[in-house]
Amino acid sequence: MRRTLVLGLLFSCAQPSAPDAAPGDISAAPASASSPKAPAEASPWMEDEGQLPPPGDCVGTVSDTLTCTTDRVGQVISTDGNDVFGNYSCGLPNGPSLQDGPDLVWEFVCPSTGNVVIDWYGLDCDIDLYVLDDTCDGDFGCVAGANDGDIIPGRLDWMCTEGLTYYLVIEGWGYGQLAANGGCSPMDTEGNFTVTVDTAASSACIEICDDGIDNNADGLTDCDDLSCVGDPACAGIESCMNGVDDDLDGLDDCDDVDCPDSDLDG
């Protein structure tokens, strides 16, 4: 199941994006010297791995918190050309790159160690996505990135560790540049795109059995979810729709007197 965020950026679009690629393909050939994706500038950690990374850049810039079950339709507006980050040490297919367009930052706390899958589509201009670790630093903490260099749908699949905070940065590469292959013109002031979290494909988005939330977005919450069978939080509690005798009284689901519509509850 997918949870959708519909977002808009207030930027104008100007210069051509990189050569066309197949939709969703982030394994295309690396950018050439003529590619608009500039290579990353040299950074101290590249030259001296013993040097500690500087503080992150996310303080005061995080616009929202994302979860596996985020379901939000709205618009994010940026009129000040906010450009928090510059260099990124990761990214496919174009490798480390320098970004000078406006960006948006969201915080994500990993619910369980595993992968998280993010899709995006419906782009007016070229955007790039990066995931940063809890240092929130493009040089020192770049976990994964997608910088395909075109107005095409994409998917970013990355690993997270339970309890750690990550930052999803959406870079408006094409905003402030003219996208010659369509979608934006110098008169445009708004660039739209859609981002979805694919919970079904994300192993990190498991059901937490005692928080009152349908974490994996399958329509079942806590002990009603089959993935919570055997979880200590559900011990001795009869779930009325999972086909399991949770409280070990010989009766399951609606045959159990603990269920409101049981045949035994009178």
Kindly tell me if the per-residue pLDDT of 143 is higher than 50: yes
Kindly tell me if the per-residue pLDDT of 3 is higher than 70: no
Residues 165 and 229 in one domain: no
The answer as to whether 92 is a domain residue is: yes
The answer as to whether 45 is a domain residue is: yes
Residues 248 and 169 in one domain: no
For residue 178, what is the domain's CATH number?
A: 2.60.120.380
Residues 132 and 161 in one domain: yes
The answer as to whether 128 is a domain residue is: yes
What is the rounded distance in angstroms from the CA atom of residue 112 to the CA atom of residue 147?
27
Residues 20 and 138 in one domain: yes
> What tens digit of pLDDT does each residue of 56-112 get?
567 667 777 878 877 554 333 444 455 667 789 999 988 888 876 677 788 888 988
> What tens digit of pLDDT does each residue of 200-245 get?
888 898 778 888 877 777 788 778 877 787 777 877 666 676 777 6
Residue 168 confidence class, pLDDT cut points 50, 70, 90? confident
The answer as to whether 262 is a domain residue is: no
Q: Could you tell me the pTM of the whole model?
A: 0.65
Q: Which domain holds residue 251?
A: 222-255
Please count the other Cβ atoms lying within 10 Å of the Cβ belonging to residue 195. Answer: 24
The answer as to whether 58 is a domain residue is: yes
Residues 240 and 142 in one domain: no
Q: What is the number of structural domains in the chain? A: 2
